A and B are shown apart, each in its own frame.
Chain A
Amino acid sequence: MSTYIGPIRDMQFVMKELAGLDEVAALPGNEEVSSDLVDAILEEAGRFATEVLSPLNHSGDQEGARWSEGAVKTASGWKEAYRQFSAAGWTAIAAAPEYGGQGLPKLLSTAVMEMWKSANMAFSLCPMLTGGAIEALMLRGSDEQKSLYLTKMISGEWTGTMNLTEPQAGSDLAAVRTRAEPQGDGSYKLFGQKIFITYGDHDLTDNIIHLVLARLPDAPEGVKGISLFAVPKFLVGADGSLGARNDVHCVSIEHKLGIHASPTCVLAFGDKGGAVGTLVGEANRGLEYMFIMMNEARFAVGMEGLALSERAYQHALGYARERVQGTEAGVRGGGKVAIIRHPDVRRMLMSMKSQTEAMRALAYVVAAATDLAHHHPDPEVRAERQAFVDLMIPVVKGWSTENAIDVASTGVQVHGGMGYIEETGAAQHLRDARITSIYEGTTAIQANDLLGRKVARDGGQAIKAVIASVRQTAAEAGSLDGPAFKAIQNALADAARALEQAVDFVLDTYGTDIKAASAGSVPFLKLLGIVAGGWQMARAAIVARNALASGKEQSSFYQGKIITARFFADHYLSLSAGLSHAVVYGAAGTLDLPEELF
C-alpha cells in the first residue's frame, strides 16, 4: 500500500512565498506564529499523518464502519488513532484559546488539515464536522451551551455533527420538516428524521453533540422558519457529567461508493418521546447561521479535493517509477524502461502534479485572505479581502473537487490494469473523491452561488478586480526572459480575456434571462478556477525565477515550479477559451431540447 508523505516543501513554499505568511503572522493575535513554528508543526503533523492515519486508510476502506443494534462500530484502529489525535492536541489547532484551543491562523491549520485529509479522508471527516459544530456554538451559542460543550469538543473528548439533510431536503434546505416543540423550561423536544449524517454515531467518544436544523410550531414557511438546535447524544448535567441517553438514535448507516470508514447515518429524533435539545441563537435564524458558517465548511471540502489529488499523485508517481513496460520512444536498442519514460505517462503525471499545485496555491491564498479578512486592523483591507474570499469559496469547493475526480481517475489510468484492482489502492482515491463534489452543496449549488451572490450581486466588482490582477501577473511574466514565461504570459492573457467575456455575458443575462446564465454556471465556475489556479501558478513561477536569480538553495525545487507552471498554462489555461464559449454560446443547446425528447 502506498505511504503518504506530506508535501511539506511545497506547503512551505506556498505559505511563505506565495500566500504571505509574514503578513498573516503580523496580524494581532498571531504573535507566536513564525516561520520556524510553521515548519515544526508541519513536520510533526506530517509524521502523524504518515505513521498513524495513512496506514489505516486502506484497511478502513476495506473493513468500513459497521452498524448493529442501534450503534456504530468504527473500523479497526480508528479508536486508538482518534485517541492519539486528540491527545496530541490536533483537534484544538484553530479553535479559540478561551476554550482550550490554540487559535492558530487559518493559513496554518489549512495546511495541517490537508495532511489529515490526504492521509485518511474518512478519518478526517470526524474532526472536520466537529469543527463545524464548534464554530456554530462559538458563533451563536449561549454562555451555558458554550461552557457545557465547547471545551470538551475542542479537546476532542466529544465530537459534533451537522444535521441538515432530510429525505426531501437536500440542496433545498427550506424543505426541512423536523419539528422542535418548546417544553416551557427553555428546552425543546425534537421529532423527525435526518439522513446522511456524517459520524452521526460512533464509538470514538462518550458523547456526541448534534447540531440540528428544525422548525418551531409557529415558524413561517420556507427558509425563514428554520431554527438551529443543540442535541446531545447523552444529556449533560450542569456540572458537565453525563446523564440519561437522549432520544436520538442511529437507525442505519449507508453502503457507499467511497469513504467506507466514515459512518453516514440515518438519525431518528423523538421515536421514544422526543429528543431534548436547546435553541442555538435566535428562533428562525438557523439557515442564516448556516450561511455564515458555509464558507468554512465549503472551504474544508474543497481541501478534500486538493488532498485526494495529492494522495493520488503520490501513489501514481511511485508506480510510474517502478513499473517497467516497453522501451523508450526514439531510443534504438535501449532496454525496457519504467513507464515514467513514456511521454503520455509524463503528461498524466504532470497533469496531476500541476493541478494539485494550482489547487494548493489557490486554497492557501484564500486561507491567508480569510485571516486578513478577519483580523486585519484596517477595515478597508478586511472588506476587500472578504470580497475576494467570498468570490473564491465556491471555486475552491467546486473546482478543486471536480478536479480531484479527474486527477484520481488519471491516477488509476497511470496504473493501467492494476489501477482497477482494489488491492492497489489507487481506485480508493477515486471512489473517495467522488463524494466531494456532492456534499456541502453540489457543484451546481456552488456555481449558482458564484453567479448570483458573488458575481451578479456586486455588478462584477470583485471578479473584475481579480481579472485586473491576473493581467498584471501576465504582464510581469512577460517581462521575464525565456520561453516558459512567454508561454505563461500568452496563456494567462488569453485566459483573462476569455473570463472577461464570460463575466460580461453573465452580467448582461443574469437579470434578464437567468436560465441562460445558469445553463453555463458550472463551466463558468470551472473557467474561474482554471484562471485563478493559472494565475497563482504564474505568480509561483515568477517567485521561483526571482529565487533562482538570487542564488537561493534548493534550486531544483524552483526550476520544477517554473516547468509545472508552464505545463498548467499550456494544458489548462488554454482550455479557458472553450469554457468561455460554452458559457456564452452554450445555453441554446442546453435548454432547447423539449423535455419529452430526452
Chain B
Amino acid sequence: MKILVPVKRVVDYNVKVRVKADGSGVDVANVKMSMNPFDEIAVEEAVRLKEAGIATEVVAVSAGIGACQETLRAALAIGADRAILIETDAELQPLAVAKLLKAVVGKEQPQLVICGKQAIDDDANQTGQMLAALMGWPQATFASKVAIADGRATVTREIDGGLETLSISLPAVVSTDLRLNEPRYATLPNIMKAKKKPLDVTNPADLGVDVAPRLSTVKVEEPPKRGAGVRVADIAQLVDKLKNEAKVL
C-alpha cells in the first residue's frame, strides 16, 4: 500500500508572528519556517504504518516555493521514501492545493492520503476535505487513532464530548489531530540519508491545474490586547460579572 502525505511549510510554531504595518498579512521575512506540526504527525503515522509492514511506500508532497524542498527533506529524514515538490511562487489557497493534490493522486495512485487537519498559519482546515470531495473518496478527519486492515481504515476521531470511531473503505483521506502520535526526532544518520532520496520537482502547469486565488484578503490585524485582570470578592460577584459584563453565561 502506498501512502501520500502532503506537507506544508509554515512559520515555526515557536515564532511570535507580527502583522505587517500595512495590514496585508503577517511578516515572514527572516522568520523561522518549519513543517506544519499536524503534517509532521501525518508523516510519522505513515512511516509507522510502513515500519509495521502495512504500507510499502511513503511519498511526501508539498506545493509552494523552492524552499519547500527543506520541508520535504525533513519528511524524508523522518522516514518517507521519496518526495514531490509542486513548485510555484503563486499564493496557494486550500482549493488550489486540493486540486494539485488530486493531480498527484491521479499519477501516484496511493491507497491512502494522510494529511494534517489544518495548517497553523491560516488554520483553514479545508484541504483534506476538499481533496476527498474532488476524488469522491471517503474521509475521516481529526484522527486520534488509525488502524488499517482488509482494505479498510478504522479511524478514531476526536469530536466534541468524546470519541467517534469510523470505518471507511480505501482509498481514502485521513486528517490527523494532535494526539494521533508524537513525532520522532530525525536522527543525524537519517538526515544524511534523506539527502540521497529522490525528490522530483513539477509545477502547477505541468499538472494542468489553475491555482489562481479565489479569495482575497481584506485585512489582517493583531488580536486585541488582553486587558488587566480584576480580583472578585466572591463567587456571586464572579457569576454576576460573567453574566452581565462578559455575557458568557
Please report A residues at the B interface, Cβ cutoff 8 Å: 3, 5-6, 8-9, 32, 34, 36-37, 39-41, 43-44, 46-48, 50, 52, 84, 87-90, 92-93, 102, 318, 554, 556-557, 560
A44 touches B192 (CB 8 A): no
List A contacts of B15 (CB < 8 A): 5
A90 touches B29 (CB 8 A): no
List B contacts of A9 (CB < 8 A): 30, 32
In angstroms, Cα B16 to Cα A88, docked, is 28
Q: Which segment, of B53-61, B144-152, B181-189, B239-247, faces chain A?
A: B181-189
Q: Which segment, of B70-78, B116-124, B153-161, B169-177, faces chain A?
A: B70-78
In angstroms, Cα B191 to Cα A88, docked, is 10
Chain B 9-43 near chain A by CB (<8 Å), digits 1 or 0: 00010111000000000000110101000000000
Q: Which 4 A/B pairs are nearest by Cβ-Cβ distance?
A: A89-B188, A89-B187, A88-B187, A88-B185
List B contacts of A44 (CB < 8 A): 74, 77, 185-186, 188, 191
Known contacts A39-B70, A40-B70, A43-B70; A556/B188 CB under 8 A:
no
In angstroms, Cα B186 to Cα A41, docked, is 10
Per DSSP, chain A at the interface is: helix
12 A–B contacts from the bound complex (CB under 8 Å):
A3-B14, A5-B32, A32-B192, A40-B74, A41-B188, A43-B34, A44-B185, A46-B32, A89-B187, A89-B188, A556-B29, A556-B30
Q: Which single residue of chain A is at the shortest CB-CB distance from B189?
A: A89
Per the 8 Å Cβ criterion, residues 46-98 of B in contact with A are: 69-70, 73-74, 77
List B contacts of A37 (CB < 8 A): 191-192, 195
List B contacts of A557 (CB < 8 A): 29-30
Q: Which single residue of chain A is at the shortest CB-CB distance from B70?
A: A39
In angstroms, Cα B186 to Cα A92, docked, is 14
* Interchain Cβ contacts within 8 Å, total number: 67
Q: Which single residue of chain A is at the shortest CB-CB distance from B225?
A: A324
Per the 8 Å Cβ criterion, residues 179-217 of B in contact with A are: 185-189, 191-192, 194-195
A5 touches B14 (CB 8 A): yes
A560 to chain B, nearest CB (A): 8
Q: Which single residue of chain A is at the shortest CB-CB distance from B71?
A: A43
B29 touches A554 (CB 8 A): yes
B195 touches A40 (CB 8 A): yes
In angstroms, Cα B121 to Cα A197, docked, is 47
In angstroms, Cα B187 to Cα A88, docked, is 4
A90 touches B192 (CB 8 A): no
B185 touches A40 (CB 8 A): no
Q: Which single residue of chain A is at the shortest CB-CB distance from B191?
A: A40
List B contacts of A3 (CB < 8 A): 14
In angstroms, Cα B67 to Cα A9, docked, is 13
B208 to chain A, nearest CB (A): 29
In angstroms, Cα B189 to Cα A102, docked, is 8
Among candidates B29, B34, B188, residue contacting A93 with C-beta atoms closer than 8 Å: B188
In angstroms, Cα B30 to Cα A52, docked, is 24
B188 touches A36 (CB 8 A): no
A36 touches B187 (CB 8 A): no
List B contacts of A102 (CB < 8 A): 188-189, 192
